Copies of this chain bind each other. A is one copy, B any other.
Amino acid sequence: MDHIKETTIYDIAKQLNISPATVSRGLKDHPAISGKTKKKIKETATKMGYRFNTFASNLRRQRTNTIGVIVPRLNSHIMSSALAGMEKAANQSGYNLIISQSLESSAKERANALTMFNNRVDGLIVSLSSDTTEYDHFKPFTDKTIPLFFFDRVWEDSKCPKFVIHNFKAAYDATRHLIRQGCSRITHITGNLTCHLYKDRLNGYRQALLDNGLTFHEESVICNDLSIESGALVAQTIVKAPQLPDGLFIASDTCAVSCMQTLKSMGIKIPEDIAIVGFNNDPITRFVEPRLTTIHYPGDEMGEMVAKNLISLLNGNTDILQATTLVIRSELIIRESSGIK
């Protein structure tokens, strides 16, 4: 844009009749520089409107102090919480975050990964798009041993550190809870099954059925994009079925809430006619009526943990990360939407 000449360490050096090297050191509080010189340097720097040139430094040091993050969407409860946690950790340690979203498109994820690579991020944190089945866009990172961390939706077969919840168990608990509440015809509404997250939840659901003497029916599993719109649509499908389910386990709160509302508007009583359990503990679950039973897991802590571990690794503390998979506690929060029938 503008071409007003920037002040460099050379300008400061000339001004003070010292060498650029001394200026560089002085600005960085190098121990070999005398306090007096340092003070002079810093004052002159401020006076001359000097600003540190990160690129020149990066170019020289071959590091960026930048962490790349790719998430499916920025604006979902879990993801924005996780990002907030990461930002906090990064900021504390002097790292920057470059954030991009794949919008659930593997192609966009691929493009974003390349950009991150070219931007020479020191490390990359990814939560996968739900349709990602190939992972060669991450090969450049693994090839160059650039730390690659996954969270929530992870690349299961990789050796990269993974931060997840126990989706199978969470789904198992949710389903078992519905069964204990007296449900025997439980429908599971979930996302793209190419994604382990939803596959695991499905398996947990199925196992809970089997373990409790119930039969698993393919027809009782409905896959969609778990959006608010899909929640309403699903409700309409459900009521048209020959027999109403008496329980719903929905893999996302926003979808669940929308589904619940549509069901209610059609005169179906929650939980008397249909009990419902969601997933994520979105704030919304506490304010709908009945309040939604759900699976809680701390997105912000998860994000903070991922970032902290990555930074720690980047700073050379390799010992901190011992496990390649870190399972973060999740829990069933029982509320009225699955209440005693």
Residues of A within 8 A of B (CB): 1-4, 49, 51-56, 58-59, 62-64, 66, 73-77, 80-81, 83-84, 87-88, 91, 96-101, 108, 112, 115, 117-120, 122, 140, 143-147, 228, 254, 257-258, 261, 283-284, 286-289, 300, 314
Contact = CB atoms under 8 A, between A and B. Distances in A.
Nearest to A316: B1
A83 B91 contact: no
Contacts of A314: 1
B98 A97 contact: yes
Contact of A288 (B53, B115, B287): B287
A301 to B, nearest CB: 13
Nearest to A260: B287
12 contacts: A1-B146, A4-B144, A4-B145, A74-B87, A75-B81, A87-B100, A87-B101, A96-B98, A96-B119, A257-B287, A284-B287, A289-B289
Given A1-B122, A1-B314, A228-B283, A97 B100 contact: yes
* Copies of this protein, total: 2
Contacts of A64: 55
A31 to B, nearest CB: 23
Contact of A96 (B3, B53, B55, B115): B115
B52 A55 contact: no
Nearest to A60: B55
Nearest to A61: B55
A3 B179 CA distance: 56
Given A4-B145, A80-B80, A83-B99, 12 more contacts: A1-B63, A1-B122, A49-B140, A51-B118, A55-B56, A75-B80, A75-B300, A84-B101, A87-B99, A97-B98, A97-B100, A288-B289
Nearest to A108: B91
Name the residue among A63, A80, A122 with the largest chain B CB count within 10 angstroms: A80
Name the residue among A74, A88, A300 with the largest chain B CB count within 10 angstroms: A74
Contact of A52 (B88, B99, B118): B118
